[in-house]
Amino acid sequence: MPSDHPLHRSAFGLRVRIREDNRSVAHVTPLTPVPKLSKEASLGCLRTLQRSGVRQVFTSALRATDQSFFCELGFTLHEELLLLGHNFSTPLTPPLRPTRKGRRSDWSEILAIDEKAFPEFWRFDRPALLEAIKATPTTRVRVNTQDPLTAFAITGRSGRLAFLQRLAVHPQHQRSGIGRSLVADALLWSKRRFVSELLVNTQIENVGAKELYESMGFSKKNVGLAVLQWSADT
């Protein structure tokens, strides 16, 4: 978001990101616990976005307990997601394929992989990639060692919880073992930092991802997540 945008330094408790490839779409993420958000200030945020030309606003993936606040603001369901967790009660398998640290110089290739791996709505632009990297106090970015790059993963830790923020494998290289190796790396990295659980969410219809995670010891959580949407035209 440009530094002169009225929401660049938001005081509403929400992080706001306007898409680079479609300036009429914005994404909001709560920066404070949702019960502490102000309804009046949040509505003001939406009005400011609307005046800036934004027509649609999407939330980050929200737990059920946080969704009611946004529904009161006029948000509706966009998509439900599966939430899975690994509590390290089963043995971990070391990565079978080599990986290395992801560098800033890899970002263009990482974004190209992401574009091929995900539907349009879920694709990262550069601000979204940076947002994922900065979402937690500690972050690990890993890529495959081959040239060109074909896969990457972003794992973050906050306290005793870790999050597999992103796993993307170029479609031509899926089922080659690199995705499994990146997940194994994320699990081992999290366990070494005494994390109690590694969480990951995925689309309900992404059967391949669900099967991969479950085969590596993840289990479905009782409560899922959802992305909500707000439209300036309703």
| Residue 177: inside a domain | yes
Report the predicted TM-score, pTM, of the whole model to 2 decimal places. Answer: 0.91
Cis preceding-peptide flag for 148 (omega within 30 of 0)? yes
Identify whether residues 99 and 191 lie together within a single domain. Answer: yes
For residue 86, the model assigns a pLDDT of: 98
Among 154, 158, 159, 163, residue whose Cα is nearest residue 200: 163
Q: Name the band, by pLDDT with cuts 50, 70 and 90, for residue 10.
A: low
Q: Which two tokens stand for residue 80?
A: 């439900």
Identify whether residues 93 and 148 lie together within a single domain. Answer: yes
Task: Report CA-CA distances (Å) from 156 to 2, 39, 54, 163, 208.
Answer: 26, 29, 30, 5, 23
Q: What's the CA angle centered on 160, arms 15 and 77, to 5 degrees?
A: 40
- Number of domains within the chain: 2
List, for residues 178-232, the tens digit of each pLDDT value: 999 999 999 999 999 999 999 999 999 999 999 999 999 999 999 889 999 999 9
Q: Which two tokens stand for residue 8?
A: 């660049």
Mean pLDDT of the chain, nearest integer: 93
Secondary structure (DSSP) of 63-85 = EHHHHHHHHHTT-EEEEEEEEEE
Nearest-angstrom CA–CA distance, 125 and 128: 5
Domain extent for 67: 14-81+225-231
Mean pLDDT within 163-173: 97
For residue 1, the model assigns a pLDDT of: 46
List, for residues 57-99, the tens digit of each pLDDT value: 999 999 999 999 999 999 999 999 999 999 999 899 999 999 9
Assign residue 59 the CATH number of its domain: 3.40.630.30
Identify whether residues 93 and 191 lie together within a single domain. Answer: yes
Residue 29 has pLDDT above 60, yes or no: yes
DSSP state at residue 172: G
Mean pLDDT within 119-134: 94
Q: Give Dmax over CA atoms of the chain in angstroms.
A: 53
For residue 234, the model assigns a pLDDT of: 79
